[in-house]
Amino acid sequence: MSQPTLEIRFTVNRKRVRVQVPARLTLADCLRHELRLTGTHLGCEHGVCGACTVIVNGEAVRSCLMLAVQAEGAEIVTVEGLSNDEALTPLQASFRKHGALQCGFCTPGMITTAHALLSEEPDCDADRVREVLSGNLCRCTGYIPIVEAVLDARAAYRKSRGD
Amino acid sequence: MKLPPFDYACPASLAEAISLLASHEGEAKVIAGGQSLMPMMAYRLATPSLLVDLRKLPGLDRIEIGSKEIRIGAKVRWRDILDSADLRKAHPLVVEAIGHVAHYQIRNRGTVGGSLAHADPAAEMPGIAVACDALIEIVGKAGARVVRADAFFMSALTTVLQSDEIITHVRLPAWPAARRWGFEEFARRRGDFALGAVAVFYDEDGLARAKDVHIGVIGASNRPRRIREAEAILNGRGVTEALIVEAGRAVSAAVDPPDDIHASAAYRRALAGTLTERALMRAVGGAK
């Protein structure tokens, strides 16, 4: 069945993009299929698992619960935008140090969620980290090393704030 | 699952949005944050032929705090409520309750109007609206109307909202600073749907007797409800531990909870009573 498409423009990882999409396409599928940014993972496709979390205008959002057409004009950051080619970022390094990933399926959602949290609240406590990560399912590593990794990365975010 | 196909419109005015809804005779749905509607569509529980996106509509994203009432725009997100220090002072109950809504990412997109329209019997915002005797402002093809929250919710996922109508605001009566209140919710995991929650508040007369007691319960009937039988036990009396137990029992007796895979009806009935007791204990202990 052919569907009418709409043209939308937005920014992904600081790059301006233009895509032609059917209205029913989620932002998650748009990122993965149209823009080949497959770092964003899709688990449940109905807003339960958190694996598809991306950052929209500075805020963590589930990209399976947002239409691509609703991203018109937005600034989006995916997990690809939170890495650099030279070295691990402090958050990535902290995940490695604490063994905070095993199969890696939930990791992009964990990283984007933690980045959004620490960018806004670099002084958050363990309880807040647990509360925020309760929206991201992990079924192999377990949460203890993930919470530790996020807490350990706070110092880097405080530094970038200028403390 | 992928969403079923639909057409999409993003009108720039309320009038245009309403005329789009009216022209599709019940086949169109409003989308704002989409945090309830998108899962409904993924499950084919909703298959609208047209989605009318409210994101370009101006003026529905404000929290206005007045001396007589607090007016919250339909597009205000959970995050906006939690971030508002003024609202926390002006109406601590609504902020406390919204802190229990879903997860971090959902709270960045979910809206007040969306939750009211969705009318999940376990949702916090409809519960607070009913507990506080809120007024819901609606605009449709026939014009504007204001509906009391207890007359707005008819049953699970069912409201008096017509297919061409849009919720624009919810108005909560102003909150006296000395008011005693408590909110207690229980869910299996943080952010999950509540198995039950209870909001209580009352003012005190010069002799420390409770007056104008409100007890609102969610998750224990097919819609949010005030439990008048329990309120009557406390009205005009000093709130003692014995009365609190009595009020909890009255709530348990009055609710009509569902029996499903998440919890039995008997469990939810007992839970509603226990949460009532805990919320009243908090109210007696003073504002947090």
CATH of region B7-53: 3.30.43.10
Q: Do A77 and A94 belong to one domain?
A: no
Inter-chain residue contact B191 with A134, CB threshold 8 Å: yes
Find the CB nearest B190 among A45, A70, A134: A134
The pLDDT, as a whole number, for residue B189 is 85
Does the pLDDT at position B286 exceed 70? no
Find the CB nearest A65 among B38, B51, B191: B38
The mean of the pLDDT values for chain B is: 96
Does the pLDDT at position B225 exceed 80? yes
β-strands B153-155, B196-204 pairing: unpaired
pTM equals 0.96
The whole-angstrom separation of Cα A101 and Cα B177 is 48
Q: Which of A51, A82, A113 is the last residue of a domain?
A: A82
Determine contact: B51 vs chain A, CB below 8 A. yes
Helices (H), chain A: 27-29, 90-97, 107-120, 126-133, 143-152, 154-161
Q: Map out the domains of chain B as residue ranges.
A: 7-53, 63-173, 180-285
- Please write the tens of the pLDDT for every residue from A118-135: 999 999 999 999 999 999
Q: Do A37 and A20 belong to one domain?
A: yes
Under a CB-based contact definition with an 8 Å cutoff, are residues B170 and B163 in contact?
Answer: no
Q: Do A75 and A131 belong to one domain?
A: no
Q: Do A76 and A122 belong to one domain?
A: no
- Please write the tens of the pLDDT for every residue from B121-153: 999 999 999 999 999 999 999 999 999 999 999
The whole-angstrom separation of Cα A8 and Cα A68 is 8
Q: Do A76 and A104 belong to one domain?
A: no
Determine contact: A46 vs chain B, CB below 8 A. yes
Q: Determine the average pLDDT of the residues in A100-129.
A: 97
Q: ipTM value of the model?
A: 0.95
- Binning pLDDT at 50, 70 and 90, where does residue A3 land? confident
Inter-chain residue contact A61 with B10, CB threshold 8 Å: no
CATH of the structural domain B180-285, one choice from 3.30.390.50, 3.30.465.10, 3.40.50.1390, 2.60.120.10: 3.30.390.50
Q: Do A76 and A109 belong to one domain?
A: no
- Binning pLDDT at 50, 70 and 90, where does residue B88 land? very high
Q: Which of A31, A61, A82 is the last residue of a domain?
A: A82
Provide the CATH number for the domain around residue A41.
Answer: 3.10.20.30
Does the pLDDT at position A4 exceed 90? no
Chain B window 101-130: which residues touch A at a Cβ cutoff of 8 Å?
Answer: 102-106, 108-109
Enclosing domain of residue A140: 90-161
For B99, counting Cβ atoms within 10 Å of its Cβ (0-12 exposed, 13-18 middle, 19+ buried), the class is middle
Q: Do A76 and A45 belong to one domain?
A: yes
Find the CB nearest A59 among B34, B39, B108: B108
Q: Determine the average pLDDT of the residues in A84-111.
A: 95
Determine contact: B188 vs chain A, CB below 8 A. no
The mean of the pLDDT values for chain A is: 95
Inter-chain residue contact A24 with B5, CB threshold 8 Å: yes
Q: Do A150 and A126 belong to one domain?
A: yes
Which of A46-50, A71-75, A139-143, B270-274 has the least mean pLDDT? A139-143
The pLDDT, as a whole number, for residue A92 is 96
Q: Do A78 and A96 belong to one domain?
A: no
Does the pLDDT at position A20 exceed 90? yes
- Class of the B63-173 domain? alpha beta
Which amino acid, one-letter code, is at B37? L
Under a CB-based contact definition with an 8 Å cutoff, are residues A124 and A133 in contact?
Answer: no
Q: Do A76 and A15 belong to one domain?
A: yes
Under a CB-based contact definition with an 8 Å cutoff, are residues A60 and A43 in contact?
Answer: no
Provide the CATH number for the domain around residue A156.
Answer: 1.10.150.120
The pLDDT, as a whole number, for residue A160 is 84
Does the pLDDT at position B271 exceed 90? yes
Inter-chain residue contact A134 with B103, CB threshold 8 Å: yes
Does the pLDDT at position B167 exceed 90? yes
- Binning pLDDT at 50, 70 and 90, where does residue B288 land? very low
Does the pLDDT at position B56 exceed 90? yes
Determine contact: A150 vs chain B, CB below 8 A. no
The pLDDT, as a whole number, for residue B287 is 45
- Please write the tens of the pLDDT for every residue from B23-43: 998 899 999 999 999 999 999
Q: Do A10 and A78 belong to one domain?
A: yes
Tell me, letter by letter, the H, E, C secondary structure of chain B.
CCCCCCEEECCCCHHHHHHHHHHCCCCEEEECCCCCHHHHHHCCCCCCCEEEECCCCCCCCCEEECCCEEEEECCCEHHHHHHCHHHHHHCHHHHHHHCCCCCHHHHCCCEHHHHHHHCCCCCHHHHHHHHCCCEEEEEECCEEEEEEHHHHEEECCEECCCCCCEEEEEEEECCCCCCEEEEEEECCCCCCCCCEEEEEEEEECCCCCEEEEEEEEECCCCCCEECHHHHHHHCCCCCCHHHHHHHHHHHHHHCCCCCECCECHHHHHHHHHHHHHHHHHHHHHCCC
- Binning pLDDT at 50, 70 and 90, where does residue A2 land? low
Q: How many domains does chain A have?
A: 2
The whole-angstrom separation of Cα B190 and Cα B178 is 30
